[in-house]
């Protein structure tokens, strides 16, 4: 296998791998059952009076 063949192979399958990973990440982020978890995480910096249920390591 010469360099040109390897370069084409890596470029093609690298692109396919990245598209699959992007699609999986988007599906995970937009899955309806994850909405509550992401909304909770989004409000954590604004919730200074009530730290998370697991405890605040800074207290």
The string of pLDDT tens digits covering residues 2-38 is: 999 999 999 999 999 999 999 999 999 999 999 999 9
Report if residue 59 sits inside a domain: no
pLDDT of residue 49: 73
Residue 38 to residue 56: CA distance in whole angstroms: 18
pLDDT of residue 8: 93
pLDDT of residue 47: 79
Report if residue 27 sits inside a domain: yes
Q: How many domains does the chain have?
A: 1
- DSSP output for 1-59: --HHHHHHHHHHHHHHHHHHHHHHHHHHHH-GGGHHHHHHHHHGGG-SSS--TT--TT-
Residue 34 to residue 58: CA distance in whole angstroms: 27
Residue 9 CB partners (closer than 8 Å, separation 6+): 1
Report if residue 58 sits inside a domain: no
pTM to 2 decimal places: 0.62
pLDDT score of 59 more than 70: no
């Amino acid at each position: 296998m010469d360099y040109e063949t390897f370069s084409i192979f890596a470029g093609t399958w690298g692109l396919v791998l990245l598209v699959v990973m992007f699609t999986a990440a988007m599906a995970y982020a937009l899955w309806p059952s994850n909405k509550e978890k992401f909304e909770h995480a989004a409000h954590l910096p604004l919730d200074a009076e009530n730290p998370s249920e697991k405890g605040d390591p800074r207290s």
